[in-house]
Amino acid sequence: MKRIHLTPRLQMTAELVPRGARLADIGTDHAYLPAALLQEGKIPFAIVSDLRQGPLERARATVRACGLYHQTAFRLCDGLRGFRREELDAAVIAGMGGETIAEILENAPWTSWEGFTLVLQPMSSMPELRGRLREKGFCIAEERLAREGDTLYTALLVRAGEMPPMTSAELWAGRNSPDPLRGDWLELWLVKTRRALEGVSQSSTPAALARRGELEEVSSGLEEMKKEWKRWQL
Per-residue pLDDT tens, the chain, 234 aa: give them: 899 999 999 999 999 999 999 999 999 989 999 999 999 999 999 999 999 999 999 999 999 999 999 999 999 999 999 999 999 999 999 999 999 999 999 999 999 999 999 999 999 999 999 999 999 999 999 999 999 999 999 999 999 999 999 999 999 999 999 999 999 999 999 999 999 999 888 888 999 899 999 999 999 999 999 999 999 998
Q: Are residues 199 and 131 in the same domain?
A: no
At residue 34's C-alpha, the angle toward residues 33 and 40, to 5°, is 95
| Residue 15 belongs to domain with CATH number | 3.40.50.150
For the chain, the domain total comes to 2
In this prediction, residue 234 carries a pLDDT of 86
Q: Are residues 129 and 210 in the same domain?
A: no
Residue 109 maps to a domain = yes
Contacts of 195 (CB under 8 A, 6+ apart): none
Q: The dihedral of CA 14, 20, 110, 48: what is its sign?
A: positive
Q: Are residues 157 and 219 in the same domain?
A: no
Q: Are residues 198 and 136 in the same domain?
A: no
At residue 41's C-alpha, the angle toward residues 40 and 45, to 5°, is 120
In this prediction, residue 201 carries a pLDDT of 86
- Domain closes at, from 163, 192, 213: 163
In this prediction, residue 108 carries a pLDDT of 96
> Closest Cα partner for 138 from 122, 116, 107?
116
Residue 173 maps to a domain = no
Q: Are residues 105 and 14 in the same domain?
A: yes
Residue 228 maps to a domain = yes
In this prediction, residue 18 carries a pLDDT of 98
- Count of positions (residues) in the chain: 234
Q: What is the dihedral of CA 202, 207, 209, 212, to 10 degrees?
A: -80
Round to whole Å and give the CA distance between 10 and 182. 18
In this prediction, residue 4 carries a pLDDT of 97
Residue 170 maps to a domain = no
Helix (H, G, I), strand (E, B) or coil at 130: helix
In this prediction, residue 182 carries a pLDDT of 97
Residue 45 maps to a domain = yes
In this prediction, residue 29 carries a pLDDT of 87
Q: Are residues 133 and 26 in the same domain?
A: yes
Tell me the residue range of the domain where 99 lies. Answer: 8-163
- Domain closes at, from 107, 136, 163: 163
In this prediction, residue 168 carries a pLDDT of 96
Q: Are residues 63 and 130 in the same domain?
A: yes
Q: Are 174 and 143 in contact (CB under 8 A)?
A: yes
Of the CA atoms within 13 Å of residue 47, those in its CB half-sphere come to 18
In this prediction, residue 14 carries a pLDDT of 98
In this prediction, residue 223 carries a pLDDT of 98
Q: Are residues 192 and 158 in the same domain?
A: no
Q: Are residues 87 and 192 in the same domain?
A: no
Q: Are residues 142 and 63 in the same domain?
A: yes
> Closest Cα partner for 142 from 127, 125, 129, 154?
154
Q: Is 32 exposed, middle or buried (0-12, 13-18, 19+ CB in 10 A)?
A: buried
Residue 2 maps to a domain = no
Q: Are residues 35 and 108 in the same domain?
A: yes
Contacts of 194 (CB under 8 A, 6+ apart): 219
Round to whole Å and give the CA distance between 186 and 176. 9
**E strands within the chain?**
22-26, 45-50, 72-76, 90-97, 117-124, 138-148, 151-160
- Domain closes at, from 163, 194, 210: 163
